[in-house]
Amino acid sequence: MRADETGAGGNVSARIRQPVHGAGEPVCNYSGHDDGDKEAAGKEDVDQEGELEWGEVVQGFVLGSFNYGYATTQGVSWPAMHALIVQWIPPLERPRFIGIVYFVTAMSAWLTFMLCGFIISAWGWPAAFYVTGLLSIMWCFLWFTFMYNSPEEHPRISKAELEYIETAVQASGLSCSSAGQQKRVPWKQIFYSLPVWAIFLNGMGNSWGIGIYYSQLPTYMKNILGFSIKSNGMVSGLPFLTRYLGAITWSTLGDALTSRGYISVLTCRRVTSMIAMWGPAVMMVCLAYTGCQWQTVVIIMCAALFCNGAVSSSIIVNHTDIAPNFAGKLTTDLLVIIAPLMNMKNT
C-alpha cells in the first residue's frame, strides 16, 4: 500500500509535464504574478517546450507505467522496512518513528519538486533525471553501510539500548521470531481476517487519493492556475512539506495519548484513520469551488495533506499491531499504480 509514500511518482510527474506539448493556455489568467513575472514565465515555458507530442491519455499511461515498474522493484522497500521496525522499535514508539523517519519521504517530495523546477528551468528536463538518480545512488551507499537487520547484529549498539529495545518488545507481547527462525505464514487466517481487509481497503483508498495529488498536482498548477515551471515546482511541493509536519504532529499526539492511557491503541488508530481519510476528501470537494484563487488552492491542499499525515498513526503502523511477525508480508500496493490512468481525460 505504501509505494505512494516515496514521492517518486510525483517526481516523475514534475519532470514529465514540462517537455510535453499541447497543454494549451491556462484556464486562469492570474497565478499570483505581476505583469512582468507573467511575461517572463510565459517566455520561459515557450522556450522550454520539449519535443514530445504527448496528449493527456499518453501522459496518464506513462505515469502509470512508472508505478508498475516501481511496484516490482523499489516497492519491496516498504515491506522490508515494516519487517525491520518490529525488530528495532518498541511498539508504543512506532507511530512517532514512522512519522519522523518514514514520512521524511514526503519532505523529499517537497524538495524534489522544487529542485526539479530549478533544474529544468536552468538545464532542461533530462538533467532532473541525472541529478535525482545520482542522489539515489549516494543514498544506497549510506543504507548498505549503516543498516542492520536487528539490534543484536548491530556492532555499535550499547548494551543499555539493546536491553531497552528487547525488554519493551517482549513486554508488549508483539515480539517477532528470533533471528534465524522462520514462522509459517498463516495465509488462510490472513485471508479471512477482517482487520487485515480493513487495513488493506483503507490503504487502497489512501493510495488512490495520494496518487492523484502526486500525479496531477503539477498539471493542475501549470495548466489551470498558470504557474511557470520554476514556480510550479515550489508551490506543488509545499503540500508535501505540510504532510510531513502532519505526520510528526499526529504520530506524536497519538503516542502521547496511548502511552499515558488516555485512549486505547485501537481508538487511536480509528480516530487518526478517519482524520487521514476524511480530511483530504472534504478538502478536495472544497477545492472544486475555489476557482482561480491560487492562494486558497494552496492553503486547502496543504491542509488536506496535513490531515493525511495522520496515516502515520493509523494504517501504516497497523500491520505491526495485528501481526508483527508478518508485517512485511501484509504491506502491499495496488491502486496507486492505476490512479494516474483512471484520472486521465479521454482525448
Question: What mean pLDDT is predicted for residues 229-256?
Answer: 83
Torsion angle of the four alpha carbons 13, 15, 17, 18, in this order, in degrees rounded to the nearest 10: 170
**DSSP of 107-170:** HHHHHHHHHHHHHHHHH-HHHHHHHHHHHHHHHHHHHHHH--SSGGG-TT--HHHHHHHHHHHH
Structure confidence at residue 276 (pLDDT): 93
Q: Please write the tens of the pLDDT for every residue from 300-338.
A: 989 999 999 999 888 888 887 887 777 767 765 444 444
| Residues ≥6 apart with Cβ < 8 Å to 86 | 169, 174, 176, 320, 324, 325, 327
39 class by beta-carbon count within 10 Å (0-12 exposed, 13-18 middle, 19+ buried): exposed
Q: Please write the tens of the pLDDT for every residue from 62-75.
A: 766 666 666 666 66
Q: Is residue 181 part of a domain?
A: no
Give the structural domain span for 90: 3-171+187-342
Q: Is residue 347 part of a domain?
A: no
Q: Is residue 156 part of a domain?
A: yes
Q: Is residue 218 part of a domain?
A: yes
DSSP 347: -
Q: With cut-offs at 50, 70 and 90, classify the pLDDT of residue 345.
A: very low
251: left (phi over 0), alpha (psi -120 to 50) or beta: alpha
When mean pLDDT is compared across 35-49, 147-161, 259-273, the lowest value belongs to: 35-49
Q: With cut-offs at 50, 70 and 90, classify the pLDDT of residue 124.
A: confident
Read off the C-alpha cell for 321: 499491531
Q: Please write the tens of the pLDDT for every residue from 170-195.
A: 766 555 444 445 567 788 888 888 88
- The better pLDDT of the pair 89, 221 is held by 89
Percent of the chain with pLDDT over 70: 69
159 class by beta-carbon count within 10 Å (0-12 exposed, 13-18 middle, 19+ buried): exposed
Using alpha carbons, select from 233, 284, 267 the residue that is nearest to residue 125: 233
Domain tally for the chain?
1
Q: Is residue 179 part of a domain?
A: no
Q: Is residue 79 part of a domain?
A: yes
269 has pLDDT over 60: yes
- The better pLDDT of the pair 212, 274 is held by 274
- The better pLDDT of the pair 14, 216 is held by 216
Q: Is residue 209 part of a domain?
A: yes
For the chain, how far is it from start to end, CA to CA, in angstroms?
Answer: 30
Q: With cut-offs at 50, 70 and 90, classify the pLDDT of residue 51.
A: low
Mean pLDDT (the chain) is: 75
Question: What mean pLDDT is predicted for residues 141-148?
Answer: 88
Q: Nearest 5 degrees, angle CA 85-CA 246-CA 265?
A: 50
**DSSP of 22-68:** ---S-S-S-SS--HHHHHHHHHHHHHT--SB---HHHHHHHHHHHHH
- The better pLDDT of the pair 208, 163 is held by 163
53 class by beta-carbon count within 10 Å (0-12 exposed, 13-18 middle, 19+ buried): exposed
Q: Is residue 178 part of a domain?
A: no
